[in-house]
Amino acid sequence: MSDERHIARIRVEALAPGHAPGASQWAQRLGLPLDGAANFALQLGAEGLQLAELGPQAPGPVRVDFVEGAVAHRRLFGGGSGQMIAKAVGVQSGVRPVVLDATAGLGRDAFVLASLGCQMTLIERQPIIAALLEDGLERALQDAEVAPIARQMRLLCGNAIELMSQWQGEPPQVIYLDPMFPHRDKSALVKKEMRLFRPLVGDDMDAPALLEAALALASHRVVVKRPRKAPIIEGGKPSYALEGKSSRYDIYPKKALKP
């Protein structure tokens, strides 16, 4: 039997006639058709840009929303600088490191760190996921409460290994990696996103090269997020790890972060 159902065929759709010009611009930028057979649609509507799987059994669409929903809840009630991710990257009294999130995805972890005061650069190599992120950041800039956080986040679209090896200017103090592995997270949200993104992204088979490039560039430390029971990434060994219920952070320190 053909494996064709695993191949992502994507078209761009406007959810209302008023969004047709914007949809057309995205189609042109991403080199995607505005019609024809597809199993995914990048849709533009009143709530912004979203990716939807087409078909009767499809889960709902995914979009980046930094203003409402799960991300906003985490910003308000997530535990602030006591969160494990904050400790992992070295947030402490008087220290807000400059962080490069080299596997940005939908930007949730980067947003948490930006909301704690870290200056963030995000790299996303999958152009459609980068488009969702760009759209989410633009909408966040329109919200008075969230705009100051969004202004802490700079997005680059491209191959993180190449971008890190050709880095210009001051290197980031901390590089954060969350490679796409077969995730064990059972939450409905993550399962829905994995179902949508796996045909686009696959697994990060180049994680060892990603780690190597990060260790070469970061001035103070590299942090790798992993499923809790997953093996470490091939390459250097982390000095220590912080472990939570479903994930852990492997920490590769180079130099102490000081106030």
Q: Is 108 annotated as a binding residue?
A: yes
Partner residues linked to 99 by β-bridges:
120, 174
Q: Is 13 annotated as a binding residue?
A: no
End-to-end Cα, the chain, rounded Å: 60
Q: Is 109 annotated as a binding residue?
A: yes
Strand order in the sheet with 247-253: 153-157, 120-124, 99-101, 174-177, 221-227, 247-253, 240-243
Answer whether 214's CB lies under 8 Å from 165's CB: no
User: Among positive and negative, which fits the CA dihedral 63, 60, 7, 22?
Assistant: negative
Binding-site residues for S-adenosyl-L-methionine, in ranges, read: 108-109, 124-125, 178
Binding-site residues, in ranges, read: 108-109, 124-125, 178
